[in-house]
Amino acid sequence: MMPALTTTDIAQLFRELASTIAAARDELCRLDGVIGDADHGIAMEQGFTAASKAIDALPPEATLADQWNAAAKGFLNAVGASSGPLYATAFMRAAKAAGARTELPLAEAPGLIVAMAEGIQSRGKAETGEKTMVDVWAPAAANASQGTADGLRVRDIMQRVREAATQGAEATKTMVATKGRSARLGERSLGHIDPGAASASMVLAVIAADWSKRDAE
Ligand code: ADP
Ligand code: MG
């Protein structure tokens, strides 16, 4: 049987995201303290906690689209920082890609990463190389679509997504920020990992681990 991703799986994924990001809160605030305003860990923790709660509050007949839209609304309402609208748009794009159904073939799951990355880029207008979360989401999405086009198994695609995300976050150290709050630091942003890129790589690592595991089942 072809593995699927169900609404139960998505609810569980968001619980995992909320707990992983909560555990990383102080680290993310520390990174943001160096080149931003030190609130990124709090924003992400509150956002993912609210997103997960919003999903868990849905009736059992809710669709995948309902879940991602509820996550978007929950995240946006909980977060005043710039990551709020960026992730809310990502989740709304995922809602559209997932559709009004209660499960999707796991082979379509990498497409949700592509949709989220597109949402972040269309909302924030950042390109790669500007030292933002796009430096993680864009290469991860590129590997997700390439792996799908090459007909790879989901767990192999997720392995590549994870590698691209880790490398993307690390690469932000060598970049000068030109978007967002840290852009005002100019050259002084060099040498430091972008907090939004760091959290994006954690988010993608959780997603990749979860979907790889479902592929192996
Ligand atoms: P704020 O800067 O409002 O305090 P956060 O601390 O939650 O917001 O998030 C900061 C992160 O947001 C940055 O590290 C960067 O990765 C990301 N970011 C900022 N502006 C943009 C943008 N225009 N496009 C994509 N990501 C962005
Ligand atoms: Mg901040």
Q: What is the mean pLDDT of the chain?
A: 97
pLDDT at 211: 97
Q: Identify the residue whose C-alpha is closest to ligand 1 atom 24.
A: 124
Q: Which atom of ligand 1 is nearest to the CA of 126?
A: 24
Which helix (H) or strand (E) covers residue 105, if one does? strand 103-105
Cβ(92)–Cβ(63) below 8 Å: no
Cβ(147)–Cβ(107) below 8 Å: no
Tell me how far apart the 2 most distant CA atoms of the chain are, in Å.
53
Reported as half-sphere exposure (CB side, CA atoms, 13 A), residue 34 has a value of: 16
**Amino acid occupying residue 17:** L
* Mutate which of 79, 120, 132, 134 for ligand 1 pocket (most atoms within 8 A of beta carbon): 132
5: β partners: 104
Q: Which atom of ligand 1 is nearest to the CA of 194?
A: 14
Please determine, for residue 2, whether its predicted confidence score (pLDDT) is greater than 90: no
Whose tokens are 């005043």? That residue is 80
Residue pLDDT, tens place only, 27-76: 999 999 999 999 999 999 999 999 999 999 999 999 999 999 999 999 99
Distance 187 CA to ligand 1 centre (A): 17
pLDDT at 1: 64
Mean pLDDT of all residues in 81-105: 98
**45 close to ligand 1 (CB < 6 Angstrom):** no
Distance 184 CA to ligand 2 centre (A): 13
